[in-house]
Amino acid sequence: MARPYIGGTSGGIKTVSSDSTLSPADTGKTILMGVNGVDITLPSAAAGLEFQIIQTANYNTAVCTIVQAAATEDFYGAIFGSTQGESAGTDGDVAVAANTKITFSSASLKGDRVRLVSDGTGWYVEAFAQNYVGITFDN
C-alpha cells in the first residue's frame, strides 16, 4: 500500500501565472493564481493531498479554472459567499458527482480561494468567494 501524503509537508507558496499542472510534491502549498485564463490541473487523487488556491487579482479578461487529472475524481463541497459582505450564505453552488471543473468566473475577486483535500478517489472542496457566483462548479 502506498504511503498517504501528509498535508503541509511541502508547505510554502507557489505562484502560478500561466497554465500549470500541480504535482504531489506541491501538497500543502498555497498556490497564488494569477488571472486572465490560468488553468490549473491537479495531480491524480491520492490520500492526503491538499492545496489552497488563491486568486491574486480581480477578474480581468478570462476565467481561471481548476480541473482534476482524471474525470472520475469528482469535486464535492460547497461555495461560501458573502455577496461582498451584504449577507453571508452558503447557497452559491454545491459540487456533486460529475463536476469536473472549478471556475473562477467573471465575478471573481482578489482573495477568492478554494481549499482542496483528497481522500484518494476524489476531491473535497471548500470555496470562498466575495461574490457568491464568483466561483462555480461545472461539468
Residue 5 lies in a domain: no
| Whole-number pLDDT of residue 87 | 41
Residue 20 lies in a domain: yes
Residue 80 lies in a domain: yes
Count of the separate structural domains present in the chain: 1
CB neighbour list of residue 95: distance below 8 Å, 6 or more residues apart: 74, 75, 76, 77, 78, 102, 125, 137
Residue 1 lies in a domain: no
Which CATH number do you get for residue 80? 2.60.120
Residue 6 lies in a domain: no
pLDDT band at 76; cut points 50, 70, 90: confident
Residue 7 lies in a domain: no
Alpha carbon distance 30, 60 (integer Å) = 22
34 bridge partner residues: none
| Whole-number pLDDT of residue 133 | 84
pLDDT band at 86; cut points 50, 70, 90: very low
Alpha carbon distance 40, 43 (integer Å) = 10
Residue 30 lies in a domain: yes
